[in-house]
Amino acid sequence: MVEMAMASITIFSFLFGIVGFVFKIWIINPLSTAIDNLQKTVDALAKTINREQERTTELKIKFAEIDQKAKSAHNRINEVGERLLLIENKCNNCSCKDK
């Protein structure tokens, strides 16, 4: 009777081991592969996001520099316009033009 119980336990253990091995091959390994591939994709996306954030920061800095240069250019244009009006007024009031 003990031998029969031991044989049953041995067969059950062997079958359970085979089921576990099949489960590992058919279920666990594909899931592990899928998780690894997903991790690689997430890592690649994180790198892309970081590069785009750096690029956005660089573009913001360049835009601020260009905006400052444009403001400076507008100020110079306004100064030149004011000087031109001053010169025109002097020419219009000049006594030399009557001669």
Within 13 Å, how many C-alpha atoms sit on residue 79's CB side?
6
List pLDDT tens digits, range 41-93: 999 999 999 999 999 999 999 999 999 999 999 999 999 999 999 988 888 88
Q: Are 36 and 29 in contact (CB under 8 A)?
A: no
Residue with tokens 């067969």: 11
What pLDDT score does 38 carry? 97
Quick one: pLDDT at residue 43?
98
Instruction: Decide: residue 63, CB within 10 A, 0-12 exposed, 13-18 middle, 19+ buried.
Output: exposed
7-35: average pLDDT? 87
> Does the structure show a pLDDT above 80 at 36?
yes
The domain ranges of the chain are 2-91
Q: What are phi and psi of 94, to 5 degrees?
A: -70, 135
